Chain A
Amino acid sequence: SQTIHQWPATLVQPVGSPLSLECTVEGTSNPNLYWYRQAAGRGLQLLFYSVGIGQISSEVPQNLSASRPQDRQFILSSKKLLLSDSGFYLCAWSVRGPVGVSYEQYFGPGTRLTVT
């Protein structure tokens, strides 16, 4: 069965510090991978998604970046955090199937980031 891991679970970082959040998926190959952010009491904001190694689509211009160095690894980074980066960061995966066929999306446990 497939499993998705995220770490760390919680993080408190000062403004201006760098960030690196990691997500890995087990039990599947060639997944689509996603990073979302959820502010307190708000919906899911798609930040990045990737359909393959080195292929990153950015949805929201901001000081965050993403990388996919391996098939089942997705990393979210920032060089300098802002207060507005606080939130709940979720990694998700779905099967990459033919165009026109959709699949469920499954979420990792999330990282709660507080920027102070």
Chain B
Amino acid sequence: EDKVVQSPLSLVVHEGDTVTLNCSYEVTNFRSLLWYKQEKKAPTFLFMLTSSGIEKKSGRLSSILDKKELFSILNITATQTGDSAVYLCAVPGTSGTYKYIFGTGTRLKVLA
């Protein structure tokens, strides 16, 4: 059965800290892994990763995929209070189903 597990479940840091969020997956015919940020409302898309070892970067956020070990990490450097959110990762399910399998998320709180 397709599965996505995120860790830690929650995290509290201070502004300026660097955080690393983890996402491991089990899926038949892996195609991609997606990261989202969810504040009070709908998730917003951050990154889609398809190839191992190639870092995707957007400002202070970066992410990398390891297809051999079946995981991805999302790094946030110099955290700000605006980074406080739930971070979700997802993988498309078994090829042909068009479903996306989401992890339960990591709740990040950044203190001023």
Given A43-B88, A59-B99, A96-B98, check contact A102 B31 (CB 8 Å): yes
Q: What is the predominant secondary structure among interface residues of chain B facing chain A?
A: loop
B-contact bits for A32-70, CB 8 A (1 contact / 0 none): 101000000011101001010000000100000000000
A109 to B48, CA, bound (A): 21
Q: How far is the CB of B25 from chain A (nearest CB, A)?
A: 13
Q: How many residues of B contact A (CB 8 A)?
A: 24
Assuming the contacts A43-B104, A107-B42, asked whether A100 and B29 have C-beta atoms less than 8 A apart, the reply is yes
Question: Are B95 and A100 in contact, CB atoms less than 8 angstroms apart?
Answer: yes
Q: How many residues of A contact B (CB 8 A)?
A: 24
Given contacts A59-B99, A90-B43, A99-B95, 5 further A-B contacts (CB under 8 A): A43-B102, A46-B100, A102-B48, A105-B100, A107-B36
Measuring CB to CB, which residues of chain B are less than 8 angstroms from any residue of chain A? 29, 31-32, 34, 36, 41-45, 48, 50, 88, 90, 92, 95-96, 98-100, 102-105
- Pull 27 A–B residue pairs with CB atoms less than 8 Å apart, ordered by A: A42-B104, A43-B88, A43-B102, A44-B43, A44-B102, A46-B99, A46-B100, A46-B102, A49-B98, A49-B99, A51-B98, A59-B99, A90-B42, A94-B98, A99-B95, A99-B96, A100-B31, A101-B31, A102-B32, A102-B50, A103-B48, A105-B100, A107-B42, A107-B43, A107-B44, A109-B42, A110-B41
